[in-house]
Structure 1
Amino acid sequence: MSSFRFPFLLLILLSSYATLAQEGNYDEAKVPPYTLPDPLRFENGKKVTTLEAWQQRRAEILELAEREMYGRMPGRPDGMRFTVFEESDTALGGKARRRQVRVSFTDDPAGPGMDLLLYVPADANEPVPVFLGLNFQGNAAIQSDPAIRLTESWQYKGHKGVVDNRMTEAARGATASRWPVEMIVERGYGVATIYCGDIDPDYDDGFKNGVQALYPDLQNRGDNFSTMAAWAWGLSRALDYLETDENVDAQKVMAFGFSRTGKAALWAGANDERFAMVISNESGAGGAALSKRIYGEDVDRLNRVFPHWFNQNFKKYSHREAALPFDQHEIIALIAPRPVYIASAEGDQGSDPRGEFLATQAASPVYELLGKKGLPAKKFPALHQPVMGTLGYHIRAGQHDVLPYDWQHFLDFADRQLK
């Protein structure tokens, strides 16, 4: 009986997810008329025409987004400490060096913190650029490497190898297809990752089990420290460590994310100008897709199904996207003049590929003002036809996932921008 129940329960779970994913509008003909805020025009209507004026406008957009969507973030904790607890110079059959680091958020090593996993090419003679991203299921899930420590943080029961919301040995390598570590190190780059649940578990727990517990003053308020802000904050804390690692070129650390972690990567890049580049793969609503288009996953679904992701003020925009004082193209624009790559999948209409493209396109004028080439595409590109300026975009065939095709172009884009 037990061998039958697991597939049956998994089928129910997937069916429920598919139903939720199909909520909202999936008909281009039903996209309502909308007007995007101009990132190069102040709230008072004054036009931005200089670098100095953009810096003021940038601060205005950042304040709006913090207050109305993401919430306030604390700075670097005073007592933060780094402890290397494992390393090897012969990882992945000798192709990589591996290092595992405990990032403690307080001066108590037994207190809250996160485990960072880092791979760099074994043959590198100098510090290398690094892709830094959050993962969904623990560091051990991104590679079958038996040396990677299993996370003790809460996990979704539906994930492979998870028992009673805890990771087991059976979860090793469960998401390795999304993290082609060997491909990346062979191209001369490093990979660093942290389990997002180490920072804040991905469920509505009243912010009691994540890093927010260290900052009670940032809760019980409209602009509270949300899960999405916490994940972005965690990426910055990981960068704090990478700045100290002799194997890493800290001037060339790229924030990477897929789906919900792609939303966090964009917000991390918008807030922390130390990130040299941002890559957001199929981040959809609350990520790279325009909210005011009201296509696919919308603001109401974000607030109902994932009430912890964004702050309490954001709840008032459910079914009221037109009232939002900003949109996601402006979050991308906050990263200017640093490079940003947005990727979509044709079979992932819930993430609104066209809305992701239009947001990238609408951020271009800011890049152009700052002397950079924005997105070199006037119309929505065909499948498998990447376009790359300082802003890049592609749409591929397939579903909501990260594939080798995506990484091939992320690496190509990084070569163009950072090498």
Structure 2
Amino acid sequence: MSFAQSEANYDETKVPKFTLPDALVTFSGNNISDHVQWEADRRFEIFQFFERQVYGKVPGRLDEYSFKLIEESNDAYGGKARRKQVAISLKKNKKSITYNMLIYLPKGNPTAPVFLGYNFYGNHTVTSDPKVPLTKAWVPNNESFGIKDNKATEGSRGVRQHRWAIEKMLDNGFGLATIYYGEVDPDKNDFSDGVHELFYTEDQTKPKTNEWGSIAGWAFGLSKAMDYLENDGNISNVVVFGHSRLGKAALWAGATDKRFAGVISNNSGCGGAALSKRKFGETVGKINTAFPHWFADSFLKYNDNEKTLPVDQHQLLALIAPRPLYVASAFDDRWADPKGEFLSAHYASMVYELYEKEGIATEQIPEVNQPLQHTVAYHVRTGKHDVTDYDWEQYITWAKAFIQ
């Protein structure tokens, strides 16, 4: 446990008293009574606040982007899957980056829904498939994975396959599309070697105060991947998924891009699904100090000042309505505040009700390993900060019921 985690509040009696901003009352005090008003008035102003004051605004449009199918096979996973590997290239101001998407699709159906999510160490780490090349991008060092000098090695192949349940997906008619997030923007406080740098004006070295941090950069990369996936004739719907910091990115991607058919947040915590005003576990001040590149610099004014935030994360979740949303926690992951994640899903549900979609009606967090599955779904499982087969079993069951 880090020093920051050991100093965090884990005592419910020390959660400060706060008033949660009402998702159905505008900043000027007008009540929202139907989904037409929500879309026209409230959704826009909430989205604009998160875009300018929390995650940061994308400062323009690409000059060009393109896709190249670099490898495919009809004989992956013992013949049960098709594999595609696609290079996505983004160009702006005569500069470019390229990142690679690995896709597995179940054979037997002409089209299939897919889960799209970033991985933490390279596409080669989610599978033991030898046809998936090692990433050439900067990778965080990890002694247990045999990664040093920030370079992927053959020894790291398959080290994270336990997080992806690929065969479970395939057996249930789902595919997977995954991207190493460091190929879009390396996860370090350095804006010189990822997607942000494409948009710089002369002599600029980092985004402006209200421009995008890394979370918004990763969300942008997911949307560009969606540009490919929606035109792949073998894919029907796309559910965007993310764990931890990448759960934050998945939520923001779902909020900014309505083409995603559903959104899954796994242990996303502060700046993701958890309510900021609870100040339980990780807080705005702690996250902005430890990871200053994740959010817009305009978010810094709320360090240890959550009470002045005119929004909270339940309103981020509400931006995804009426599309299906799954928020998941882990009992031992108090840093991510399971109760705060649950309450956020509960309070977002009032917006889903405007669309006659069922959310989380109760304010009582469910027992461990007792999922609540509606258009808005939630579970807290036993265990720690991770992605497990149990999580994927719930996501697959829910997606079968709610992703059209």
Contact kept, 8 Å, 2:93 with 2:198, in 1: the verdict is no
Are residues 379 and 132 of structure 1, via their aligned partners in 2, closer, same or farther at CA, if it must alter by over 3 Å? same
By how many angstroms is 1:110 displaced?
9.5
Q: Is the 8 A contact 1:81 1:107 kept in 2?
A: no
| Equivalent position to 1:119, from 78, 88, 104 | 104
Distance 2:6 2:106 in 1: 42
Q: Which moved more, 1:288-297 or 1:51-60?
A: 51-60
Q: Distance in 2 between matches of 1:32 and 1:304?
A: 21
**Structure 1 counterpart of 2:19:** 35
Q: How many residue pairs get matched? A: 399
Please identify, of 103-112 and 26-35, the stretch whose mean Cα deviation from structure 2 is larger.
Answer: 103-112
Matched residue, 2:289: 304
Offset, 1:74: 4.9
Is 1:193 aligned to 2:172, yes or no? no
Provide the aligned C-alpha RMSD in A. 1.7
**TM-score normalized by structure 2?**
0.96
1:146 to 122, 127, 130: 130
User: 2:115–2:177: 8 Å Cα contact kept in structure 1?
Assistant: yes
Q: Tell me if the contact between 2:59 and 2:211 (Cα under 8 Å) persists in the aligned partners.
A: no
**What are the superposed Cα offsets for residues 171-224 of structure 1, whole Å, 9 maximum, x if unpaired?**
10011000111110110001000011011010101x111100011159442212
Q: Residue 222 of structure 2 aligns to which amino acid in structure 1?
A: L
- Letter of the structure 2 residue corresponding to residue 142 of structure 1: V
Distance (whole Å) between structure 1 residues aligned to residue 217 and residue 6 of structure 2: 28
Look up the match of 1:274: 259
Letter in 2 for 1:309: W
Contact 2:196–2:207, Cα closer than 8 Å, also in 1: no
Aligned to 2:214: 227
Q: Which amino acid aligns with 2:174?
A: Y
Q: Tell me, in whole angstroms, the C-alpha distance in 1 between the residues paired with 2:164 and 2:218.
A: 19
Please tell me whether residue 248 in structure 1 is matched to residue 271 in structure 2.
no
Distance 2:266 2:171 in 1: 22
Identical positions, percent: 47
The letter of the residue matching 1:117 is L
| 1:215–1:109 CA distance, 2 compared to 1 (3 A) | closer
Deviation at 1:54, TM superposition (A): 0.4
Q: How far did residue 409 of structure 1 move?
A: 0.3
Contact kept? 1:290, 1:329, Cα under 8 Å:
yes
**Among 141, 148, 155, the residue aligned to 2:139:** 155
Amino acid at match of 1:299: V
Q: Please give the secondary structure, in 1, of the residue aligned with 2:2.
A: helix
- Structure 1 residues 302-324: Cα deviation after superposition (integer angstroms, max 9, x where no partner): 11100000010111111000011
Q: 1:64-143 alignment to 2 at 5 Å?
A: 64-74=49-59, 77-106=62-91, 111-124=96-109, 126-143=110-127
Once residues 387 and 238 of structure 2 are traced to their aligned partners in structure 1, the CA distance between those partners, rounded to angstroms, is 20
Match of 1:394 in 2: 379
Name the aligned partner's letter for residue 104 of structure 1.
S
Give the AA of the match of 1:358: L
Amino acid corresponding to residue 300 of structure 1 in structure 2: G
Residues 1:109 and 1:216: Cα distance change in structure 2 (over 3 Å)? closer
Counterpart code for 1:231: W
Q: Distance in 2 between matches of 1:407 and 1:76?
A: 35
1:238 — aligned with what? 225
Contact 1:90 1:122 in 2 (8 A): no
What letter corresponds to residue 236 of structure 1 in structure 2? S
Using the TM superposition, give the Cα deviation of residue 153 of structure 1 relative to its aligned residue in structure 2, in angstroms: 0.8
Shift of residue 379, structure 1, vs aligned partner: 1.1
Amino acid at match of 2:251: L
Q: Which amino acid aligns with 1:273?
A: K
Q: How does 1:176-215 map to 2 (within 5 A)?
A: 176-205=161-190, 207-215=191-199
1:374–1:120 distance in 2 versus 1, CA, 3 Å: same
Q: Which aligned pairs between 1:355-374 and structure 2 lie closer than 5 A?
A: 355-374=340-359
TM-aligned CA deviation for residue 77 of structure 1? 2.5
Give the gaps of 5 or more residues in structure 2. Answer: none
Q: Deviations over 1:289-336 (max 9, x none)?
A: 000000001111111100000010111111000011110000000000
Change (3 A) 1:297 1:418: same
Q: Deviations over 1:262-289 (max 9, x none)?
A: 0000000001000000000000000000
1:333/1:363 contact within 8 Å kept: yes
CA distance in 2, matches of 1:50, 1:42: 13
